[in-house]
């Protein structure tokens, strides 16, 4: 009989119950006991769903108050010194202080670093390890939850981040050293954990080792052998789980590790399934991740069944069925989406529905599936296939226009140097021009206004009047601060992707489609289901109004095609590159409309361009090529005189800077305030040709930056970037800040720009200065 299981279930709750409970606890409005109580009831619900779907185990250990990597660090007793922990149990508040820097009790300290979890939009807390790091089993939470599941009558399969991946994700602090020197000590604790689980009567333990889908140095591949040969003495069966990609060069390694089972992601690497089935020693089970844990589409169960049946021929009862990865990355329950039309709703499958799909596949794989199973499976497959042939997915006009555009060169008419001169004539700007990234503080008032409008509590006319008033105030504030290139402030936008998705055809929005991004923070990605088109202009009205209020240049503000793509749930029936092109085409029209409305500077944000990089290096270039092409399709239709800006929220450019240059934006604004050294290296090694605004202060901090710090940053930048190509701006949008913070910070920023203008005036050619330095 085929075993069915899940790799993990969302912990946040169908109505984000955990988010709200956490925030109440943090603000002192809820007791720890109440928080624990809510957590227990969420776990029970999640297990109930798994049982109802007919799964053979429930996952335990996938629940977390913040992050599963942090949970593992706590389990291992890896708590950085600054949190003042003295061994013993890592209590809840120590845990929260590691995550957020503060908690209801204990001294605040700098939180651990949040980092993107592989290629998902989930973020984990980076473990910090020192050369003399000690490890000790330091929390019983996992064992308590195992007992909790057993008492409630479930068969638990504990899920743990594996030792090698945990160590791979850890950051060496207090001086460079080889993290692998810590492996044996890490394994000591894992061995104890497995022992305790065996004592608790656990049969299977899932150890997640997604690092196996990465390009690994040889030493780390060897570390996998070392680790699992050490752990093979455990009295539990180990299921080694890999996901988010193919194993490729690590396939034979993974197949041969001394564990009882291997899980492979057959959604992202379908071609590897046969290989894995062939290579796997006959004593091991193969868990096949066949239902996507990364998208929200109903699975074509007939196709999945065919794949599984072929594997079953080889594996017999050694075949297990599962989602491709933990269901953490999809929303909880589609059945709450009663606002969607029934057809669209029927195309979707969230975590609860995906469990159902897995259960159904298990039944269909039985020797003699019953008639009901057959009927259900056929019906489900029919709906999944119906989506692909639905006319709602196809827009001939969009496809024809793209085919036409493909014949044109996706380039500006003139090279940057010539455009630059024309732009400077059209809109003379001082040296070190100042600007911002787009958003200004989103006050409670603005959010209330948008909510009221959405809920029909204020009229469109009222809403527009209020937004106009906000724009007016924002423009006046920027003039008073003497900023050179102004923005309208984005008061009308709730979210930089949702705002555009809502106005484009081909997108749908859920009500409860929340996915955890980190801690209590969730995102609700739009659902991009069909060909994308733009029924009408999206931003022109506000941009035009803002421009009418000032004689200074007003920058139009758009979210770029790659960012919209990377932050949405995207259709799976065509390559992402093609979907990106369609978004780009719609945005290109918006760019041209802005230009026609007299907006001479247009910023196209690509905050998430780097996030889309494939996990494997050899796949990078192909992604970058189409991603940059999508940007160029958006931006290249304008006249030479129109200035295109782009913005990215990071400065890890060293390895992709040639592609960034190929975007050919006239100005790029980036984050540098927290990492100026890295940036400077990138620009020392690569002669970036266009204008750059290295973010001169960190908007994520409430601190007011000093003029001196910003002057210094700019002077350092001027050593590697010709001064005449430098812009002065914060490192990201200001929407999360308060006006009381923004006003003095921007005033200091403008002063810094003026200092630079003075210092570099009379030096004639700023290039010469660069050479002197
Ligand atoms: N224009 C957007 C803003 O200022 C950019 C946000 C971002 O880069 N994440 O809010
Ligand atoms: Zn940003």
pLDDT (tens digit, 9 = 90+) per residue, 17-48? Answer: 999 999 999 999 999 999 999 999 999 999 99
Ligand 2 centre distance from Cα of residue 607 (Å): 6
Q: Which atom of ligand 1 is nearest to the CA of 647?
A: 8
Q: Give the integer Cα–Cα distance in Å for 698 and 757.
A: 22
pTM: 0.95
Residues near ligand 1 (Cβ within 6 A): 437-439, 490, 496, 557, 605, 607, 647, 649, 732-733, 735
Out of 563, 647, 648, 670, give the residue to mutate to test ligand 1, the one with the largest number of ligand atoms within 8 Å of its CB: 647
46-101 confidence digits (pLDDT tens)? 999 999 999 999 999 999 999 999 999 999 999 999 999 999 999 999 999 999 99
Out of 446, 499, 732, 737, give the residue to mutate to test ligand 1, the one with the largest number of ligand atoms within 8 Å of its CB: 732
Pull the structure tokens for residue 16. Answer: 């984000």
| pLDDT score for 675 | 63
Of residues 123, 329, 645, 700, which has the active-site annotation?
700
The residue ranking higher by pLDDT, 773 or 671, is 671
Residue nearest to atom 1 of ligand 1 (CA): 438
Is 50 exceeded by the pLDDT of residue 769? no
What mean pLDDT do residues 129-157 have? Answer: 98
Which residue is associated with the tokens 């000591």?
Answer: 188
Burial class (CB in 10 A: 0-12, 13-18, 19+), 498: buried
Ligand 1 centre distance from Cα of residue 425 (Å): 28
Provide the percentage of residues in the chain whose pLDDT is more than 90.
93
Ligand 1 centre distance from Cα of residue 540 (Å): 18
In sequence order, the β-bridge partners of residue 556 are 602
Residue nearest to atom 3 of ligand 1 (CA): 733
Residue 270 CA: distances (Å) to CA of 286, 291, 354, 380, 425: 14, 12, 18, 21, 56
Tell me the pLDDT band of 401, cut-offs 50, 70 and 90: very high
Is 60 exceeded by the pLDDT of residue 496? yes
624-653 confidence digits (pLDDT tens)? 999 999 999 999 999 999 999 999 987 778
Using an 8 Å Cβ cutoff, are 62 and 8 in contact? yes
Note the ligand closest to the C-alpha atom of 557.
1
Tell me the pLDDT band of 674, cut-offs 50, 70 and 90: low
Q: Which atom of ligand 1 is nearest to the CA of 436?
A: 4
What mean pLDDT do residues 265-294 have? Answer: 97
| pLDDT score for 572 | 96
Q: Give the integer Cα–Cα distance in Å for 227 and 162.
A: 9
What mean pLDDT do residues 114-141 have? Answer: 96
608-617 confidence digits (pLDDT tens)? 999 999 999 9
Tell me the pLDDT band of 767, cut-offs 50, 70 and 90: very low
Q: Give the integer Cα–Cα distance in Å for 730 and 70.
A: 31
In sequence order, the β-bridge partners of residue 238 are 205
Ligand 1 centre distance from Cα of residue 439 (Å): 6
Ligand 2 centre distance from Cα of residue 653 (Å): 14
Tell me the pLDDT band of 768, cut-offs 50, 70 and 90: very low
Residue nearest to atom 4 of ligand 1 (CA): 733
432-460 confidence digits (pLDDT tens)? 999 999 999 999 999 999 999 999 999 99
| pLDDT score for 762 | 64
| pLDDT score for 415 | 97
| pLDDT score for 654 | 85
Ligand 2 centre distance from Cα of residue 557 (Å): 13
What mean pLDDT do residues 529-556 have? Answer: 98
Is 90 exceeded by the pLDDT of residue 534? yes
What mean pLDDT do residues 510-514 have? Answer: 97
| pLDDT score for 763 | 56
Is 50 exceeded by the pLDDT of residue 765? no
| pLDDT score for 10 | 98
Annotated active-site residue 700? The verdict is: yes
| pLDDT score for 771 | 36
Ligand 2 centre distance from Cα of residue 563 (Å): 11
> What does the DSSP assignment read for 476-500?
HHHHHHT-SBB--B-TT-S-TTHHH
Handedness of CA 240, 197, 21, 89 (dihedral sign): negative
The mean predicted confidence, pLDDT, of the chain is 95
Q: Which atom of ligand 1 is nearest to the CA of 607?
A: 8
The conformation of residue 486, written as its DSSP 8-state character, comes to B
Is 80 exceeded by the pLDDT of residue 253? yes
Residue nearest to atom 9 of ligand 1 (CA): 607
Out of 490, 670, 699, give the residue to mutate to test ligand 1, the one with the largest number of ligand atoms within 8 Å of its CB: 490
Residue nearest to atom 10 of ligand 1 (CA): 733
In sequence order, the β-bridge partners of residue 72 are none
Q: Which atom of ligand 1 is nearest to the CA of 437?
A: 4
Is 80 exceeded by the pLDDT of residue 597? yes
Using an 8 Å Cβ cutoff, are 321 and 295 in contact? no
What mean pLDDT do residues 105-118 have? Answer: 94
Residue nearest to atom 6 of ligand 1 (CA): 733
| pLDDT score for 679 | 72
Q: Give the integer Cα–Cα distance in Å for 165 and 212.
A: 8
Residue 725 phi/psi, 5-degree rounding, is -105, 5
Residue 730 CA: distances (Å) to CA of 146, 647, 690: 48, 11, 19
| pLDDT score for 676 | 64
Out of 603, 668, 733, 742, give the residue to mutate to test ligand 1, the one with the largest number of ligand atoms within 8 Å of its CB: 733
């Amino acid at each position: 009989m085929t075993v069915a299981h899940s790799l993990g279930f969302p912990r946040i709750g169908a109505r984000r119950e955990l988010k709200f409970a956490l925030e109440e606890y943090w603000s002192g409005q809820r007791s720890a006991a109440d928080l624990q109580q809510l957590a227990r009831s969420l776990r029970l619900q999640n297990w109930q769903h798994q049982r109802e779907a007919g799964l053979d185990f429930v996952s335990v250990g996938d629940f977390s108050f913040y992050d599963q990597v942090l949970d593992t660090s706590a389990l291992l007793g890896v708590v950085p010194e600054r949190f003042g922990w003295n061994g013993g149990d890592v209590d809840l508040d120590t845990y929260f202080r590691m995550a957020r820097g503060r908690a209801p009790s204990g001294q605040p300290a700098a939180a651990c670093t949040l980092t993107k979890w592989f290629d998902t939009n989930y973020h984990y807390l980076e473990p910090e390890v020192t050369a003399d790091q000690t490890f000790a089993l330091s929390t019983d939470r996992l064992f308590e939850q195992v007992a909790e599941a057993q008492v409630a009558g479930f068969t638990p399969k504990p899920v743990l981040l594996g030792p090698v991946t945990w160590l791979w994700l850890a950051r060496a602090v207090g001086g460079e050293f080889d993290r692998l020197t810590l492996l044996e000590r890490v394994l000591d604790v894992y061995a104890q954990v497995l022992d305790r689980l065996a004592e608790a009567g656990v049969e299977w333990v899932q150890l997640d080792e997604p690092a196996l889908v990465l390009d690994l140095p040889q030493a780390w591949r060897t570390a996998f052998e070392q680790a699992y040969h050490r752990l093979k003495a455990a009295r539990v069966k180990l299921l080694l789980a890999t996901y988010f990609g193919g194993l490729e060069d690590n396939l034979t390694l993974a197949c041969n590790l001394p564990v009882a089972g291997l899980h492979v992601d057959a959604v992202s690497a379908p071609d590897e399934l046969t290989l894995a089935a062939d290579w796997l020693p006959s004593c091991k089970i193969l868990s096949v991740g066949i239902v996507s844990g990364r998208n929200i589409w109903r699975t074509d169960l007939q196709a999945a069944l065919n794949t599984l049946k072929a594997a079953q021929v080889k594996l017999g009862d050694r075949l297990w069925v599962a989602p491709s990865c933990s269901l953490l990355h999809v929303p909880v329950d589609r059945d709450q989406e009663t606002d969607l039309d029934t057809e669209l709703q029927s195309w979707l499958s969230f975590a609860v529905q995906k469990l159902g799909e897995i259960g159904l596949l298990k039944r269909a794989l039985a020797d003699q599936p019953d008639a009901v199973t057959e009927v259900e499976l056929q019906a489900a497959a029919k709906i999944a296939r119906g989506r692909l042939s639905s006319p709602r997915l196809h827009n001939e006009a969009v496809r024809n226009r793209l085919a036409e555009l493909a014949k044109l060169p996706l380039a500006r008419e003139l090279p940057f140097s010539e455009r630059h001169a024309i732009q400077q004539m059209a809109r003379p700007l001082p040296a070190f021009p100042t600007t911002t990234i787009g958003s200004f503080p989103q006050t409670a008032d603005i959010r209330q206004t948008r909510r009221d409008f959405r809920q029909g509590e204020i009229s469109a006319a009222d809403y527009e009047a209020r937004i106009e008033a906000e724009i007016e105030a924002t423009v006046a504030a920027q003039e008073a601060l003497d900023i050179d290139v102004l923005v309208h402030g984005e008061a009308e936008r709730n979210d930089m992707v949702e705002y555009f998705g809502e106005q484009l055809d081909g997108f749908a929005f859920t009500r409860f489609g929340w996915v955890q991004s980190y801690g209590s923070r969730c995102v609700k990605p739009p659902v991009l289901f069909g060909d994308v088109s733009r029924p009408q202009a999206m931003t022109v009205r506000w941009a035009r109004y803002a421009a009418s209020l000032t004689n200074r240049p007003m920058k139009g503000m758009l979210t770029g095609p790659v960012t919209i793509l990377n932050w949405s749930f995207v259709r799976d029936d065509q390559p992402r590159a093609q979907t990106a092109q369609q978004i780009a085409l719609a945005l290109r029209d918006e760019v041209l409309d802005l230009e026609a409305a007299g907006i001479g500077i247009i910023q196209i944000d690509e905050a998430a361009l780097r996030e889309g990089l494939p996990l494997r290096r050899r796949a990078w270039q192909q992604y970058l090529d189409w991603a940059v092409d999508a940007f160029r399709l958006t931006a290249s239709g304008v006249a030479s005189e129109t200035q295109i800006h782009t913005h990215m929220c990071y400065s890890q450019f060293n390895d992709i800077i040639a592609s960034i240059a190929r975007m050919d934006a006239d100005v790029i604004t980036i984050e540098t305030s927290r990492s100026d050294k890295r940036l400077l290296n990138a620009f020392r090694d690569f002669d970036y040709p266009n204008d750059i605004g290295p973010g001169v202060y960190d908007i994520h901090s409430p601190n007011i930056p000093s003029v001196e710090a910003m002057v210094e940053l700019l002077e350092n930048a001027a050593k590697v970037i010709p001064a005449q190509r430098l812009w002065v701006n914060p490192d990201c949008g200001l929407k999360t800040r308060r006006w009381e913070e923004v006003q003095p910070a921007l005033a200091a920023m403008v002063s810094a720009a003026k200092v630079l203008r003075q210092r570099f005036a009379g030096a004639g050619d700023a290039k010469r200065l660069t050479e002197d330095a």
